[in-house]
Structure formats: structure tokens, C-alpha cells
Amino acid sequence: MKGVILRINLNALIVDITHEIEPQNVLEASRVLGESYRYFPDGTIHICVVDPGVGSSRRPVVLHDGKHYFVGPDNGVFSKVITEADQRLRGYHITESRYFLPEVSSTFHGRDVFAPVAAWLSRWVSCGSFGDLISDFTVIPEEEPKKIDGGVEGKITHTDRFGNLITNISADLIEAEKHELSKDKLAVRVEGKDEAFDLYSFYNEAGEQNKTGALINSEGYLEIFFYRGSAQNKLGINVGAKVTLCSNNSFARQGEA
Amino acid sequence: MKGVILRINLNALIVDITHEIEPQNVLEASRVLGESYRYFPDGTIHICVVDPGVGSSRRPVVLHDGKHYFVGPDNGVFSKVITEADQRLRGYHITESRYFLPEVSSTFHGRDVFAPVAAWLSRWVSCGSFGDLISDFTVIPEEEPKKIDGGVEGKITHTDRFGNLITNISADLIEAEKHELSKDKLAVRVEGKDEAFDLYSFYNEAGEQNKTGALINSEGYLEIFFYRGSAQNKLGINVGAKVTLCSNNSFARQGEA
Amino acid sequence: MKGVILRINLNALIVDITHEIEPQNVLEASRVLGESYRYFPDGTIHICVVDPGVGSSRRPVVLHDGKHYFVGPDNGVFSKVITEADQRLRGYHITESRYFLPEVSSTFHGRDVFAPVAAWLSRWVSCGSFGDLISDFTVIPEEEPKKIDGGVEGKITHTDRFGNLITNISADLIEAEKHELSKDKLAVRVEGKDEAFDLYSFYNEAGEQNKTGALINSEGYLEIFFYRGSAQNKLGINVGAKVTLCSNNSFARQGEA
């Protein structure tokens, strides 16, 4: 893909965001892209090739939110981007094959379609040149945490290379919960585990004691960590496990019951 | 290596093709390079450091096929490139140590020899400046699939990070086989497995049913996949396993026998 | 981090040294950085984010050794750099938040503090602009090999992706030992293993025989390898294991006893 881009635009500046997305995990890709793209300069073209449906009828698309461009399959990989851009979004169905490589394989559109289209885009070919304006994009709805008695229930959505367990419970939700329960301190509980974990401000605050804790991570989500180790290994928990945020007391009472 | 290159030519544009070659696997490196290099701009210098014989008498070389340059050990890593370039190839034994780092280790010529030579090459030092013209390059012959009764027998040569199983049976061979058997549909069988796998055009065609299938991949080789999962894990098959391409009928008859 | 840098300086040339440091392993990071930085051009800014104490009171710093700049946490990650630069080192405590991202998370200073500071540094903001000159840096002392009867005892400090076992015994120490024992040939022994390994000049010298051996690697340290395989898997040895360098004879005598 990088070779294809540079053959078309030798001045292109290419940056890898990640090659660590779990194979075929469109939702994880959507989330990582959604957390990263705004840190890049305006005008950046983001190519995303998590594409299990390559070769089928899923559409190749170019999106533009007024600042950033996105090139890839319309399979939900741009869910976060599309939801955030809302009315600002313009999207096009890529059909103009003169911008593709001469031979298009049925298994690697990253190389044969997305890379050359992105490269031509970087050379100021307009979005509309690649195909028709469309608006019925594929958006995979994220499962939202739900209100339960005395707290909020979410789940582990993914892990990182440090073994941190990342949930779908956002900082906003935690603040709202603190307010509602009139509590400064909340605790975090994980399905199948007796222990309740305290909420810290940063990893080191749990330090010196081989402790498992929770915090709001740099993307603004509740994350469970094991200080200087892997929470995933320590707790034996995987993606999908239920996570509850509740007041320390309510948990204690449950424990006593 | 990147630091060494940039000290010599700060304008060098450096692109990583892969750091995922299995340690010491010269043949895999040759194949990946052979599938990638032509997608890069003419004049690209490809450095390849899969070099188990580093420090021994294996020769460091610079190759030129008229368009692309290659720098690395003459240990078979350039087998594909050399075979394809044939008469167009010019190769030189790198001996002029004034282009090396001042101290050359006996274990990391990537940093001490290949990186600086490639950097000087990018600054228009001519190939012939690095040493004598040679022509007796090391080429590791690839094991070819063979004709068997009612089909073709090849093998799994490598796997990718998705767990796809890639064979040495090429698209050309599949077409020839279809013609010979006067069949539109062929099936794929793997040593030790009862099941026969259908041939699809793209991954998604096997979709919705947790199915194992085969297709011609983006490099033009027969590949066995498990839809949205790992065929390697699913089938418990490894590199070297025999793979047979045959007509659906011939296989059915074998199954009945 | 790359997006943040490019938003501030679109002309920045960004190179990844490694993303393979073991999570939280500050000492490994210090060693890898110490072995790499001098190969980069003068004026290079090295960002290092192995930062288990992020958000706590550990200080963010900018260091300058007269040629290279370093940006990261003052947690020992720059131990090698600081020790080598000695009197040439100038260091500053990063406190000027106007150079940070508008919102600084408590868990990812790489993105919110180090990347923007490094980018401003690359646009010629002077080191002193980021905060006060300091001199009480955190240096984690490396455990040194010790002299024992008839040899030297060190340990395995880390492994690489090939499964090579790298020790803290330096080339200088090996030379001194050869001199002292008046021996040309030394052998290497690993805790818990009966076998003694010969010292080779390069991997291939042990070739053809599935052999385990030792050599001085490209960073100048004693390394134990298994030819064309993984010594780590072959020997079942891990980081921390004791390694002894001794004369062939003394070992033989021990073996006989």
C-alpha cells in the first residue's frame, strides 16, 4: 500500500496509526480511529483497511467531515467518525475505476483501491471525482452502558498490549453517577469477581502494593488495570465481561447480604 | 539502521515493508519481497536483512534490475527478484569498506554494512563503486506443485497474521487444471482432513456460515481461510502440509471408496 | 503522538525505534535507547514513553547532551544516556504548560506533554523555555557482573525476538578475562545447565549442527544463541538466570568433580 501511494505521490507523508487491530474487528477499528483522527493535522487522509467483506458488495467510500478525509470500506469501520461528523459529513461511493490499480484483486482492496484513491486525493483530485454522493452509511451502534439499581452496568470492550481492560463506561457517565449517588468515591466491580476495585486518578496512585484498580483513561473511558502488570492475566477476564460502577457502600452491603 | 541511513542522507524516505518475517526464514523473505517490490516507485532501494549467516563468508551484494535496487546478503533472500529479472540483472559483491560504518560487528551487517551502502546508493554512488560485478548469485529453488492423478498437489508455504494458510499453487495452475478437467468447480483438500473445501472468489462469499474455504489471494496463490477466524487454529494445520486441488467429483468418489 | 507532532511541525521527520519494549520495563528501554541514539544524526530529538508513573509526581524532562535531545519521564529511562553524557548533560524540568495539549490526561503524557514539547523543540524553542534547569536526575544503577573464582558471573538481562539470551557481560570484560586466565578459549555456562557453550565470532560459525553457542553481539555484550532457532525455547531459560564465563578447562574440571 505504501509503495502504491508513493508511486502516485512521492511527496505523500505516510504515518502508521496501528497494525494491531484484532483481525476482522470492525468495531475496535472504529473506536481506535475515532480516538485518534482529530489529533492529526486538518486535511489528513485516513485509510482504514479492516475489511472482512472485501470483494463482496460492501461499498468502498471516501468521507469528508470538513477537515479530515477517510478512505475505506463502508462496513462500520467509520461508525464513530460518521456519528461525530453528523451533518458535516459528505460521503462518496468509490466507483471510478480509472483511479484504481490496473488489476484489482478480490481480496486486497487496501492495495488496489484504497491506497491509489487516497494518493490521488492527496494530489487534489476532488472527492466527487471518485463516484456519487451517498448518505446511507453503515453505522454499527455501540452497546451503551445501562442504569441499574445503585449504579451503572457496562462491559469490557477491548484490551491493550499492557493487559488493561477497557470498558464502554465514559467519564461523563461516571461524573453523573457521582452526582446522583452524592458520593465522591465509587467502586468498580467485575462479573464473577468478589473484589471491588477503587477508582484512582493515575496508575501510580495504586502503586507499591501490586494492586488492581480502575481509572479514567486517556480516551475518557473507565479502565481496569493491575499496577505494573496485566489486569487481563491477573483477573482472567476477557472482552465482553460485565463491569459495574457503584458506590462503595452499596457494594459492601451486597457483599454482606 | 534508520539512524545510520539518515546520518548519510537526511532526505532519504524510509518505508518499512515488514518486520514480521519468521526469524531466519530466507524463503519467506524472498517471497514477500518478490510480491511487494514492483509496487514501489522506480529507483527504490530495497534493503533486506534476513541474515542467519551474518559474519560468515556469505557475500553482501547490491543488485539492480534496471528499475529497482536491492541491498542485502547473497543467501537466497533475493531468489524471486533474481529469477524475475533474469538477463536484466546486474549484481555487485560489496567489498569497499570505506562505505561501511567505521566499526563493523560480526552479527549486525544490517546496521554496519547494508544501511550505509543503501544510503550512499541513494546519494548516487554507482553500484560498481561498492565492489566487483558478479553473476553467480544464490537462488533457492522453490518446490513446485506436482501433477497427480486427477489434480495437482502442492503444500502450505506460510501463514499470515489472520491465520490464513497460503500454498504454492498459483492461479495459472488452477486455471490450467480447470481446463484439463473440463470442470468449472474444483475443490481443495488438505492432508489428514476428511473435508473438501470449495473455491470462492472472495472471503465474504463463504460468509454467514462459519465456513472454511479456499480462494486465490491477492498475490495470486491458492489460500485456505476460515471466514472471520483463523484457518490455522481451526484446522490445526501447519506450514509444510500437503494440499490437493481436484475436481469435486473425483474427491466425492474417493470419499465413497 | 505522531498526529500531535505533525500538527505543530508538519516538516518533522518521525522515526520509530521500537514499540517492542516489555511493558513498564524502564531498564530495557534505557538500554535500547543507550544502544541506538548515537547512530542518529546530531540534533535528533528522542522521545521515550515507558512511563508506569504517569500522572504521579515523577518529573517530565528535556535533556541535551550537546548533540542529542531527549524528552520523557525522569524515571530512569534515560539512565544510560545520563551516565554517558556526564558533565556534558543539561536537563530541564518540563513545567511550562503552554507547550502542552490544552487538556492533559493523567494517563498518557506521551501524547499530551512529550509529543508537543518535542515538536516545539524541533521548531527551535530552546530547552530552557520548558522549565527550570535541574541536575538531580533519576539513574537506575545497572547490576554489574562480578569476579568469581576462575571467571566472571553475570546474568541474562533480556531476550530478543529471535530468542537470543543477552547478558550484562561486556566485550571488555571478556577480553580482560582472556588476558587474566591466559586463555584464548573461554566457555559459557548457564545456571542449572550441565552443558558449557563455546564462544564463537558469528552465528554461522556454530552452523550445520543445531548448536547452542555464545558470541559478542552487535551491542558489545555476551549473547547466548541457538543456531537458526530460539535459545530461550531450547534451553528453557529466562531473564535473570546466572551466566558464568570461565576457561574451558576449569569448567571441565568442575564437570568431572
pLDDT tens-digit readout, C32-85: 999 999 999 999 999 999 998 888 889 999 999 999 999 999 999 999 999 999
Which set of grid coordinates corresponds to residue A256? 454482606
Contacts of B108 in chain C (CB under 8 A): 217-218
Does residue B140 belong to any structural domain of this protein? no
If we measure between CA atoms, which residue out of C192, C198, C203 comes closest to residue C246? C198
d(CA C158, CA C167): 7
CATH number at residue A51: 3.40.50.10790
Query: Would you tell me how many other CB atoms lie within 10 Å of the CB of residue B147?
Result: 12
Reported as half-sphere exposure (CB side, CA atoms, 13 A), residue C142 has a value of 26
CATH at C206: 2.40.30.90
Shared-domain flag, residues C197 and C232: yes
Amino acid letter at B192?
A: G
Closest partner residue to A108 (CB to CB) among B161, B205, B218 is B218
Q: Which residue of C has its CA nearest to A11?
A: C11
Residue C46 lies in a domain: yes
Note whether C39 contacts B: Cβ–Cβ < 8 A.
Answer: yes
Last residue of a domain, one of B78, B113, B134: B134
Segment among C121-125, C165-169, C226-230 with least mean pLDDT: C226-230
Is residue B22 a part of any domain in this protein? Answer: yes
Name the nearest CA neighbour of A218 among A171, A256, A180, A255.
Answer: A171
Put simply, whether B105 touches C (Cβ < 8 Å) is yes
**Boundary (domain end) residue, out of B107, B134, B161:** B134
| Nearest-by-CA chain B residue for A5 | B40
Q: Is residue A192 part of a domain?
A: yes
Same domain, yes or no, for B75 and B108? Answer: yes
Q: State pLDDT tens for residues B126-176.
A: 999 999 999 999 999 888 899 888 889 999 988 888 889 999 998 888 888
Would you call C161 an interface residue with chain B, using a CB distance cutoff of 8 Å?
Answer: yes
pLDDT for A207 equals 72
Same domain (yes/no): C82, C167 = no
> Does B116 lie in the same domain as B173?
no
B64 in contact with chain C, both atoms CB, cutoff 8 A: no
Confidence label for B252 from pLDDT (cuts 50, 70 and 90): very low
Q: Are C37 and C45 in contact (CB under 8 A)?
A: no
Q: Do C39 and B111 touch (CB under 8 A)?
A: yes
Asked if B205 has any chain A CB less than 8 Å from its own CB, the reply is: yes
| Cβ contact A56–B15 (<8 Å) | no
C-alpha A37/C-alpha A14 separation (Å) is 14
Q: Are residues B207 and B99 in the same domain?
A: no
Same domain, yes or no, for B187 and B228? yes
Q: In A, which residues are within 8 Å of B216 by CB distance?
A: 107
Per the structure, the count of domains in chain A is 2
This prediction's pTM: 0.87
In the predicted model, what is the mean pLDDT of residues C92-112? 96
Query: Which chains have at least 3 CB atom pairs separated by less than 8 Å from chain C?
Result: A, B
User: What is the CB neighbour count within 10 angstroms for residue C127?
Assistant: 19
Q: Are residues C249 and C187 in the same domain?
A: yes
**Contact between residue B163 and residue B226 where contact means Cβ atoms under 8 Å apart:** yes
Contact A51, A109 (CB under 8 A): yes
The model's confidence at residue A209, banded by pLDDT at 50, 70 and 90, is low
Report the C-alpha gap between B89 and B80 in whole angstroms. Answer: 12
Give the minimum alpha-carbon distance from C201 to chain B in angstroms, rounded to a whole number: 7
Residues contacting A89, CB < 8 A, separation 6+: A63, A64, A65, A82, A137
Nearest Cα to B108, choosing from B53, B58, B160, B40?
B53
Query: Scanning every residue of chain B, which has its alpha carbon at the shortest distance from the alpha carbon of A23?
Result: B162
* 3-state secondary structure labels for all residues of B150-219: CEEEEEEEEECCCCCEEEEEEHHHHHHHHHHHCCCCEEEEECCCCCEEEECCCHHHHCCCCCEEEEECCC
Does residue C226 form part of some domain?
yes
Same domain, B18 and B128: yes
User: Does A139 reside within a domain?
Assistant: no
Residues of C in contact with A15 (CB under 8 A): 2-3, 6, 14
Yes or no, beta carbons of B107 and C204 under 8 Å apart: no
Is A224:A214 a contact under the CB 8 Å cutoff?
A: yes
Last residue of a domain, one of A71, A102, A134: A134
Domain-embedded: residue B139: no
Would you state the pLDDT for residue B255? 43
- The answer to whether A18 faces chain B, any CB pair under 8 Å, is no
**Cell numbers found for residue A76:** 462500520
Residue B141, domain member (yes or no): no
Q: Does one domain contain both C117 and C154?
A: no
Q: Quote the minimal CA–CA distance from C31 to chain A in Å.
A: 19
What pLDDT shows up at residue A58? Answer: 92
Report the percentage of chain A scoring pLDDT > 90.
Answer: 57
Question: Is A66 near chain B, with CB under 8 Å?
Answer: no
Same domain, C127 and C21: yes
Distance CA A131, CA A62 (A): 9
Same domain assignment for residues A113 and A199: no
Task: Look up residue B176 and give its DSSP letter.
Answer: H
* Chain C residues within 8 A of A17 when measuring between CB atoms: 2
**Domain span at residue C199?**
146-256
Together in a domain, A59 and A182 = no
Considering only CB atoms, which chain A residues are within 8 Å of B215?
A: 106-107
pLDDT of residue A158: 84
Q: Residues of A with CB below 8 A from B217's CB?
A: 105, 107-108
Please give the single-letter amino acid code of residue A215: L
Query: What is the rounded average pLDDT of the residues B217-242?
Result: 88
Tell me which of C218, C221, C230, C234 to substitute to probe the interface with B (most B C-beta atoms closer than 10 Å): C218
